[in-house]
A and B are shown apart, each in its own frame.
Chain A
Amino acid sequence: MRDLFSSATQLAQQFRAGTKKVGDVIQQLFTHIDQTEPKVQSYLHLFKEAALEKASELDEKFKKGDPLPPLAGVPISIKDNLMMTGTPTTCGSQFLKDFVSPYDATVITKILNHGLIPIGKTNMDEFAMGSSTENSSYQNTKNPWNLNKVPGGSSGGSAASVAAGEAWLSLGSDTGGSIRQPAAFCGLVGLKPSYGRVSRFGLVAFASSLDQIGPITRTVEDAALLLSVIAGHDANDATSANQALPNITEINRPLTGKKIAVLAESFDKVIDPDIQAAFSAACEILKSDGATLETVTLPALKYVVPTYYILAPAEASANLARFDGVRYTTRDESATTLQSMIKKSRGQGFGPEVKRRIILGTYVLSSGYYDAYYAKAQKVRNVLTAEMIALFEKYDAILCPTTPNVSFGFGEKSSDPWQMYIEDMLTIPANLAGIPALSIPCGQKNGLPIGLQLMSKHFAESTILNMGHRYQQLSDWHLKTPEGITS
């Protein structure tokens, strides 16, 4: 059973060395999934047959000694907002209940070309809107560390699947923290790459100027490897950046000479004291490896939550307009006019949080309100970005906790959207500024994981991967596994 919790790097080496067969691993994995899924409910769709088929093809190639990419044969789970031909893509919404992807997202093409094996598509907050995966219209995914707690969101299914040993790697998407926060809640590594680093083609858009696809893994090294698979310029995405790929070969270099800015807000009263303590301990480890740490402030931080909750819903209100009852699953057949068909279908197809954000986004873009809300929020976004870029002139990275609190119970925050929204305050800045950010496990409170967040300047993923990897060489939080789910 411990085998299922190894790193993807280790597993890939075992395939290469011939000590493990891909087919056996897939069989073992699905036996495990049969036991854990009723409790955890990470997956919305599983691809056992296809996975076994791919596994036997790969075993053939390993046997023949064909040259194979580094992560060939490693099982991966995929957030259900990524298009993969012939598979359902529901985005956690009733609106796409019967929707089957007619094409592959660029990241899917890439992982398939690299021989990774998709195990299934994972549960998520409807259209990636939420921080607990409770907004899925299908099921509640449980936190493998404590089944009474949420896994975080919106990539909660992705994080839970890796934490529960149901996949070695996962692809999530992050608009305001949707990779990093569930990674933090589930004791995993989550990387939101720089905006433009990974093609968004085939990712069902929530907020197009903020969305990025990224890895959720057990180790920083795994995250670096998966990033190098999915990153790169893509002509299918006009916002894709034509940048050299991150150099991940030197992530084990000691941190001597590196300068890290510690956000003073990490010790604000809204941050759980136990998280502050774990965070301080993590700072010491980074120092012990040679990094210099200095405390800085980020004045615009206090505006990021309202700014985000104007810009993201504004873009979402347009992105979700295509769900109008004309196509896709939900259409109210009782409607007698075009107007009522659109209204009723949208009324039925969307859940409450999605409706709340569509209304919010529509409002802030309306004539007469645009300047007061949308245009002003764009200005704040520019101010924040400038503040962060200024910090990166002096520092290699910015450090803070990933979340103010550890995972919470089901229903605890659903009644007050604001309580849910402020959970995102430390993850949002990286999306607004378009910079890369990495969350790694750095402690626990009452058996629930705590996350540490590193941010660096645009396209400097290798900097934070280096720091994260060194941290993991000097700590063992990432080696802990949730015991409860297998018993």
Chain B
Amino acid sequence: MTLYETVIGLEVHAQLNTKTKLFCSCPNTFGQEPNQNTCPRCLGLPGALPVLNEAAVQKAILTGLALNCDIQLRSVFSRKNYFYPDLPKGYQISQFDLPICLNGWIDIPLPEGGTKRIRITRIHLEEDAGKLVHQGAEAIAGSTHSFVDLNRTSVPLIEIVSEPDLSSPQEARAYFETLHLILKHIGVCDGNLEEGSVRADANTSLRPVGAAAFGTRTEIKNLNSFRSIERAIQSEINRQTEVLNAGGKIVQQTRNYHDLTQTTTVLRDKEESHDYRYFPEPDLKPLLVTEAWINEIKKQLPLLPEAQKDIYKRDYELNDSEAKVLIQDPDIHHFFQTALEKAGSVSPKLMAKWIVGDINAAIKIENETFQSSKLSIPNFLALMSLIEAEKISGKMAKEFIPEMVKTGKSPHDLLATIGGQQISNTDELDPFIQQVLSENPDVIEKIKAGKTQSANFLMGQVMKLSGGRAKPDLVLALILKAIQNI
């Protein structure tokens, strides 16, 4: 039996998070009532003309720079012609032979360790289509009728096309994850997979191991989760392998993936594929960008996730998981970076520990983001300073955080309500310790017999008596010392 190797290329569509749409001034938002977020331009009404959104061009260039592309000083919009009810002009304004970015690459982590460089053919700018809402069935097949919602029409998209450099479903997933993280990290896309902000088409083919020529490929459309990319490609590999092993031939097709059954089905054959009749969009002049503008955008490019992570680990001694959590969510990362700028003497390591830990958890419980929560940077830094100066214990901080997130109160306010800062003065603690020791002679016996862990129980009693303000490690030390002296 012939052994096959897999060849995969991905086309990733990402919605740019600009304020307005690509060719009109309608807000670029998600979730309105159908057809409310529209105007003559994005409805494609007769006589309406496209006007290019400069912010979308800026974000496309920023992406190109992040993905090591050559930014093209001249690119051209073309009309891609096909009929579909979600395409109100009967053509999509896209870029064809002259896209804005060419020849890039990114490195992806391999499952077995190490990295692999994946080449990026091109990035082009285009407008999104609207949406059909089928009635009476899940898909158009079997539906009685369909409604057209044009809210999404003309939302700016970039399409990032990779070379066929991916060799397994796992690599395809890693590529998609890496790309997704970069797009979010550099701030061009919200990365919301459920809302379809990033979606991929996967081209998959098999060839005998060692063969130079590519096999016939199929294209799986509209994959919008990390898992579905991996699974869809795997199922397609299985299907193609079966066909080839049975002596059959792969037919060039576009296929749909069904997550429920983890199988793909034919959407259309090559013969049914469209002749898009691309030609230069006469309503828009060629897009000219200057070196000066590209250089300006270059300055706005943040360190990419992997490089930033390495710096956090090296300079701030964060562990890998702390660095990872900080990097993978722009919301958290932004909070950390802002706090860093104003931190003064507070240790970044301490801040990172609390941000990725208790604070992140408290914010999730409140169903908020760092951006939206009431926890301010000054209050956060005040809390860190109190911890660092040992004026409050970690335990106290843990109790303060949910309150600070929920109400926006400062740690000093919270301290006042519980009667003051941490007690780390031996003279003040002594009465509490004496009282607890006298009430628990049996526990003292246990400790003397070698069960030193029981001292934690006594410490808990002292904490209770002090209203949570006693410094725990000091209490423990004092208890053990007192018992020794008995």
Contacts and interface: CB of A to CB of B under 8 A. Distances in A.
Interface of A: 81-83, 89, 91, 96, 99, 102-103, 105, 200-205, 207-209, 235-239, 314-315, 317-318, 320-324, 326-327, 338, 342, 362, 365-367, 370, 374
A129 to B, nearest CB: 14
Interface hub of B46, B83, B90, B275 (most chain A Cβ within 10 A): B46
Contacts of A102: 40, 45
B188 to A, nearest CB: 23
Given A236-B51, A322-B46, A374-B279, 7 more contacts: A208-B283, A237-B49, A239-B284, A318-B89, A318-B90, A321-B83, A342-B83
Given A239-B285, A326-B85, A366 B275 contact: yes
A5 B47 CA distance: 32
A192 to B, nearest CB: 17
Interface string B258-285: 0000000000000000010111001111
Nearest to A323: B90
Nearest to A341: B85
B44 interface: yes
B283 A367 contact: no
B277 A366 contact: yes
21 contacts: A91-B46, A102-B40, A103-B45, A103-B47, A204-B47, A205-B46, A205-B47, A208-B283, A209-B282, A235-B51, A238-B49, A238-B285, A239-B49, A239-B285, A314-B279, A315-B282, A318-B89, A318-B277, A338-B140, A365-B81, A367-B277
A338 B83 CA distance: 10
Interface hub of A81, A200, A235, A338 (most chain B Cβ within 10 A): A338
B328 to A, nearest CB: 39
A81 B45 CA distance: 12
A201 B49 contact: yes
A367 B52 contact: no
A425 B90 CA distance: 31
A208 B83 contact: no
For the complex of A and B, list the 6 residue pairs with the smallest distance between their C-beta atoms, beginning with the closest: A321-B90, A209-B282, A365-B277, A208-B282, A204-B46, A202-B47
Contacts of B79: 318
Contact of B91 (A83, A99, A103, A318): A318
Contact of B49 (A200, A321, A324, A327): A200
Contacts of A239: 49, 282-285
Contacts of A323: 90
Contacts of B50: 238
Contact of A322 (B49, B51, B88, B140): B88
A153 B3 CA distance: 68
A208 B85 CA distance: 23
A236 B25 CA distance: 11
A202 B49 CA distance: 8
A111 to B, nearest CB: 16
Contact of B48 (A81, A201, A235): A201
Nearest to A207: B282
Interface string B84-121: 01001111000000000000000000000000000000
B55 interface: no
A338 B82 CA distance: 13
B148 interface: yes
> Chain B contact residues: over half helix, strand or loop, or mixed?
loop
Contacts of A238: 49-52, 283-285
B47 A322 contact: no
Contact of A365 (B48, B279, B282): B279
Contact of B90 (A208, A236, A322): A322
Contacts of B49: 200-201, 236-239
Contacts of B52: 238
Given A327-B88, A338-B85, A322 B44 contact: yes
Interface string B20-34: 000000000000000
Contacts of A324: 83, 85, 90
B304 to A, nearest CB: 34
A326 B45 CA distance: 12
Contacts of A320: 90
B47 A105 contact: yes
A44 to B, nearest CB: 16
B288 to A, nearest CB: 12
Contacts of A81: 47
Contacts of A326: 85, 88, 148
A105 B83 CA distance: 27
A374 B283 CA distance: 17
A45 B85 CA distance: 31
Contacts of A370: 277, 279
Nearest to B281: A208
Contacts of B279: 314-315, 318, 365, 370, 374
B316 to A, nearest CB: 48
B89 A203 contact: no
Given A315-B282, A326-B148, A89 B46 contact: yes
A208 B277 CA distance: 17
B275 A367 contact: yes
Given A208-B283, A327-B88, A96 B81 contact: no
A317 B140 CA distance: 27
Given A89-B46, A202-B47, A318-B79, A362 B277 contact: yes
Nearest to B277: A365
A103 B81 CA distance: 26
Contacts of B88: 322, 326-327
A353 B474 CA distance: 95
Interface string B123-142: 00000000000000000100
B373 to A, nearest CB: 40
Contacts of A82: 47
A421 to B, nearest CB: 21
Interface hub of B90, B277, B284 (most chain A Cβ within 10 A): B277
A342 B46 CA distance: 18
Interface string B220-242: 00000000000000000000000
A237 B284 CA distance: 9
B58 to A, nearest CB: 17
Interface in B407-441: none
A318 B51 CA distance: 18
A96 B46 contact: yes
Contacts of B46: 83, 89, 91, 96, 99, 204-205, 322
Given A237-B49, A365-B277, A103 B85 contact: no
A96 B285 CA distance: 29
A213 B137 CA distance: 48
B77 to A, nearest CB: 10
B473 to A, nearest CB: 68
Given A342-B83, A366-B275, A203 B47 contact: yes
A380 to B, nearest CB: 16
A230 to B, nearest CB: 15
Contacts of B91: 318, 321
A394 to B, nearest CB: 29
Nearest to B85: A326
A457 B282 CA distance: 21
B344 to A, nearest CB: 48
A366 B278 CA distance: 8
Nearest to A320: B90
A320 B44 CA distance: 11
Nearest to A95: B46
A182 to B, nearest CB: 21
B236 to A, nearest CB: 27
Nearest to A235: B51
Interface string B280-304: 0011110000000000000000000
A342 B85 CA distance: 9
A245 B52 CA distance: 25
Contacts of B83: 321, 324, 342
Nearest to B40: A103
Contacts of A315: 279, 282
A371 to B, nearest CB: 12
Contacts of B81: 317-318, 321, 365
